[in-house]
Amino acid sequence: MYKVTVLEGDGIGPEITREAVRVLKAAAEKYNFNIDFDYALLGGAAIDAVGTPLPEDTVKRCKASDAVLLGAVGGPKWDNLSGDMRPEAGLLGIRKALGLYANLRPSKVFKPLKNASPLKLGDTACFDVMIVRELTGGIYFGKRGRFERDGVACAFDTEEYSQPEIERIAEIAFELAMSRNGRLCSVDKANVLESSRFWRETVLRVSEKYPEVELSHLYVDNCAMQLVKAPWQFDVIVTSNLFGDILSDEAAMISGSIGMLPSASLSSGSFGLYEPVHGSAPDIAGTGKANPLATILSAAMLLKISLKQEAAAAAVEGAVDAVLSQMRTPDIYEDGLRKAGTCEMTDAVISLI
């Protein structure tokens, strides 16, 4: 019996996690294993219920599980709160509390969606990249503050990385490259930032243990341009928290829709938190229009990485690929196909598992 803690969150979070849980139950029944689902609060929902974006009870429940499935957090309802009380603080806090230092964001163009990419990749170019983002260090967790200098208001945020933090994320990226096409691109801003020069030096040292992997380096601005110019040149990209946040969203749009992209946030071992790349989309919450596929694909990653149910994961991924030729939610709709809502899309996926 596996235990999965579900953090529904805000906006469309409860809707998309509900559909992903349905898919997980179907996959478990098909492949003869059991999952016990536990539910806990995070983000705006937690603020409304208990006055904090990350209750201690939520951390305890997550730590007692094999994996965590998250919907999304945030919304305009809580925009006026201070930074440490906003829903997003709960997301940063749960990552830190669970030691989730490696964020895996696969981005690919599904063949049925090749025309949805803004780059119009067509049939000749394949885009399938894994972005490995360091998740618990860097500028998001560095010292910050506001001060006054010569009567002028100022603010600062600090980028800081230790050698072990860089080494462990680099090792995950090298291992992933070895399991894929053997190419790793490390992205930094080493021409300007001391933290990036240290990042590059450390990645180079780690590379000595992986002679089979072809390692390259790009400055982040060049990488952003290359993702648009020739996205098929990339296999695995490893980078810092801030750069990874930005580049993974760019890669998501190249795929055709951010509503299609899953992610996994991992700690040591097989434990992980799985969530769609997209946000809480409060403007469509409750309308039945939300695309559940990113969350369903996140559930497939959960099956594969944390539960080691690779056959079940492959079945879910295959079902998603197949259903795209039949129907689409509004964000990826194409003339000639059936327009589907959140539940109908999930029903179709389940029928194909």
Question: What is the C-alpha to C-alpha distance for residues 53 and 93, in angstroms, rounded to an integer?
Answer: 9
Which residue of the set 10, 188, 189, 210 is catalytic? Answer: 189
pLDDT, residue 109, reads: 82
Q: Is 237 helix (H, G, I), strand (E, B) or coil?
A: strand
Residues of the chain where predicted confidence (pLDDT) is lower than 50: 124
What does the pLDDT read at residue 83?
75
CA dihedral 103, 109, 115, 119 (to 10 degrees): 60
Q: Catalytic residue among 38, 96, 108, 249, which?
A: 249
Alpha carbon dihedral 36, 41, 42, 45, in 10-degree steps, equals 130
Give, rounded to a whole angstrom, the gap between the first and last alpha carbons of the chain. 21
Ranges of each domain in the chain: 1-102+260-353, 128-254
Q: Determine which one of 84, 157, 221, 283 is catalytic.
A: 221
Return the structure tokens found at 143.
């010292």
The pLDDT of residue 78: 95
Are 73 and 16 within 8 A, CB to CB? no
CATH architecture group of domain 128-254 = 3-Layer(aba) Sandwich (3.40)
Task: Please tell me the distance from the alpha carbon of residue 265 to that of residue 263, in angstroms, as a whole number.
Answer: 7
Contact predicate 319/299, CB 8 Å: no
Known catalytic residue at 140 = yes
Dihedral sign, Cα of residue 340, residue 263, residue 138, residue 59: positive
Q: Is 189 a catalytic residue?
A: yes
Taking a C-beta distance cutoff of 8 angstroms, is the pair 183, 235 a contact?
Answer: yes
The pLDDT of residue 125 is 57
pLDDT of residue 123: 56
The one catalytic residue in 10, 66, 235, 245 is 245
**CB 231 within 8 Å of CB 114:** no
Residue written as tokens 């997980």? 24
Q: How far apart are CA 352 and CA 231, in angstroms?
A: 31
- Active-site residue, from 140, 161, 210, 274: 140
CATH 3.40.718.10 fits 1-102+260-353, yes or no: yes
- Give the model's pLDDT for residue 314: 97
Would 1-102+260-353 and 128-254 be classified into the same CATH topology? yes
Q: Mark whether 221 is an active-site residue.
A: yes
Output the pLDDT for position 110: 81
Burial (CB count within 10 angstroms: exposed 0-12, middle 13-18, buried 19+), residue 239: buried
CA distances from 320 to 57, 123, 156 (A): 34, 20, 44
Strands (E), 1-66: 2-9, 35-40
Confidence (pLDDT) at 333? 83
Active site includes 249? yes
Q: What is the 3-state secondary structure (H, E, C) of 132-188?
A: EEECCCHHHCCCEEEEEECCEEEEEECCCCCHHHHHHHHHHHHHHHHHCCCEEEEEE
The residue behind tokens 């450390």 is 202
Quote the pLDDT of residue 340: 93
Q: What are phi and psi of 334, to 5 degrees?
A: -135, 135
